Amino acid sequence: MCGIVGFVGKDHAKEKIIDGLKRLEYRGYDSAGIALPINGKIEIRKHVGEIRNLEKIIGDPDFDSSMGIGHTRWATHGVPSDVNAHPHANEDNTIAIVHNGIIENYQELKEWLAAEKHVTFKSDTDSEVIAHLIGVFYEGDLLQAVNKAVAQMRGAYAVCAIAAAEPDKIVAVRKDAPLVAGIGKGFNFIASDIPALLKYVREVYLIENNETVVLTKDDITIYNGEGKKVKRDVFHVTWDADAAEKEGYEHFMLKEIHEQPKGIYETLTRRLNDDGSINLDGISMTKEDIEGFNKVYIVACGTAYHAGLVGKMVIEKMAKIPVEVDVASEFRYRDPFVDEKTLFIAISQSGETLDTLAALREAKRKGARILSVVNVVGSSVARESDDVFYTWAGPEIAVASTKAYTTQLICMYLIGLYMGSTKGTIEKDYYDKILDELKALPDKVEKLLEKENSIAALAKRYYRREQVFFIGRGLDSGVSYEGSLKLKEISYINSFAIAAGELKHGTIALMEEETLVFALATQDFLYEKMVSNVEEIKARGARVIGVAKEGKTEIESVADEVIYIPYCIDEVSPVLAVIPLQIFAYYVAKERGCNIDKPKNLAKSVTVE
């Protein structure tokens, strides 16, 4: 997920583009750049790191124009670097583009451009092919060249292009990536999101899928996929800039909870081939490789560790290989049994978690093969791994992780399915069944999000509790740990998670009048046992909120409240079961007046031991 800004007007494009990029930096922050047509050619400045790094190299007053495009990047292809930063240009710098999205057939296009058009590439990105394609097709009409280039491209993208020979025009196109046009007087904007524009305009056009936009300082013309002009109603923005960055949500955490259907869809579908086979993004893991592993270690911290708990059960069931899950901060201090027959899976949202990185290095020293699951391209964990499997959550701003967790779960399922199908330890019917269930998850999560108000009402009822328990069996036990962590880290309530079967071994002594317990009962083959556990808790006077699948109504006879998730098979229920726990934690913290996005004493990336 990247941020795009384009401006065309009378003067000082640089200032307006940089201001817009700063307001989009929440969309990506590993590099930034700007392209301006100056004296008949396109001048590009770009720099790795935050936008302030870019500002240091564009201070020259001669580097300015009446038009330009800018970009703040969240890397997907190619590590964060000056060369991989946007904008990208064709070989003679007569065309420049900025791009948000993925060109799925970029390798094919790259090979064609190199072989047939003798193009030399500078970067490792998929985006550079767009600039070269437009350059190859350009014959004095930028709109026509963009249309011809788009006809060759597959994927999801928003692209803005400029040409040195047409220094008064921006052409932009959208397919499955956000784009808005800001309407000014004597100037106009194009951007990924409304926040980039609010300092200057309040009226925008919301660009729809497969539409192309041509901007000059006086006009905005929108064309549909058939090349016909489109008349679009003006959308008047009433939000302030801060609310716009959050797209109308009060906090980034709530926004990110609602972004989970998209993150799950992206993480899953980009890894599926047309025949239903799984593409692990270039990871070469043969049948011989998988059969050579005698153990898998999953090592992580916090929320990522909880994803690993689910991953353990998934990989063991599908690949029939023993899996250990360890907290990264403990792993390297116990001289673990790791060798060249070990697959070491590191899970980290940021890819910079120091404990995880240290554990990875220890496993590597002992000869293990390293596979990392991370959300940040070019991060330390990614760079030091043999194989990298990226989640597609996009930047996660709130300290409390939500969409990163659910996309990590999807990665665990894909790894388990890939290993099991390659090794031949799962039947084709079972493989197809799991895949169908995974494909249904985005819509089911959307359905769950519709229950937000009722879950918020529960939070309002119980937010004064100072002690909350989460219990579950099987896969539900791992989700219980994550639900407990979400609550404690943003509301500061003392929450505690335990495998439900362990209640009688000590914890049930803490159950008393008005103790609040979340009982997760989404595993069909353990459902009756969970109902019995709830009965034991209720006998001590505790209050119970059950989480169960639709149709499993027996729990209503023992629980005080029940939240139902859409029916699914047991294996994929963790993705759904965690959603109401995230929402509950959010609204409890809100009722308690806590700093939800930045809870006290916590940081997004733990880079110290």
Residue 407: which residues within 8 A CB-CB, separation 6 or more? 260, 263, 264, 266, 267, 375, 391, 392, 393
Token pair recorded at residue 564:
């139902």
Strand 387-390, strand 369-374: pairing: parallel
Of residues 2, 301, 411, 568, which has the active-site annotation? 2
At 465, list the tokens. Answer: 């509790």
Whose CA is closest to 9, among 124, 170, 129? 170
Query: Are the C-beta atoms of residues 277 and 420 closer than 8 Å to each other?
Result: no
Angle at 66 between CA 82 and CA 187, to 5 degrees: 115
Q: Rounded CA gap, 207 and 432, in Å? A: 37
Distance between CA atoms of 302 and 308, rounded to whole angstroms? Answer: 10
Residues 6+ away with beta carbon under 8 Å from 286: 422
Establish whether 301 is a catalytic residue.
no
Q: Are 530 and 472 in contact (CB under 8 A)?
A: yes
Q: From the centroid of its chain, how far is CA 417? A: 21
CB atoms within 10 A of CB 78: 18
**Residue corresponding to tokens 């250990």:** 324
423 is catalytic: no
- Which one-letter amino acid corresponds to residue 99? H
Catalytic residue among 41, 447, 598, 604: 604
Amino acid at 314: V
Backbone angles phi, psi at 206, to 5 degrees: -90, 110
Distance CA 529, CA 525 (A): 9
Cα distance between residue 382 and residue 182, in whole Å: 38
Answer whether 573's CB lies under 8 Å from 434's CB.
Answer: no
Residues annotated as catalytic are 2, 604
